[in-house]
Amino acid sequence: MANIISDETIEYVGILAKLELSDEQKEQAKQDMGNMLDYIDRLNELDTTGVEPMSHVFPVQNVFREDVVSNGDTREQLLSNAPAQKDGMFMVPKTFE
């Protein structure tokens, strides 16, 4: 396996993706990600010098809205799925700044 994923990398990716893995899951994730990256590394067989990265397939451009208010108060609907709420707001664990 060309790509060895370290404990630090898995830990770091866990912070980025907000996922918590057990030790066993971490080992599995290291293996899976290493295998996948090995597989993805095959793309390096292709010479892409001078090729522009293509993020959008179609030449669709300049899709705009006019600056006109079209939405009203839908707070009740918004909050209907909230796991916790208070005073018309979403309740979350305390944020420290």
Q: Which residues make up the interface to other proteins (CB under 8 A)? A: 9-10, 12-21, 29, 32-33, 35-37, 39-46, 48, 51-58, 60-71, 73-75, 77-84, 86-97
Tokens read off for 47: 């010479």
* Three-class secondary structure of residue 86 per DSSP: strand
Residue whose structure tokens are 């293996």: 31
Instruction: Say if residues 88 and 75 touch (Cβ distance below 8 Å).
Output: yes
Taking the least distance from each CB to other proteins, the nearer of 23 and 73 is 73
Taking the CA atoms of residue 24, residue 25, residue 26 and residue 27 in that order, the dihedral angle to the nearest 10 degrees is 60
Considering the complex, what minimum distance in angstroms separates the CB of residue 22 from other proteins? Answer: 9
Taking the least distance from each CB to other proteins, the nearer of 27 and 35 is 35
Considering the complex, what minimum distance in angstroms separates the CB of residue 27 from other proteins? Answer: 13
Tokens read off for 67: 């600056």
Considering the complex, what minimum distance in angstroms separates the CB of residue 95 from other proteins? Answer: 5
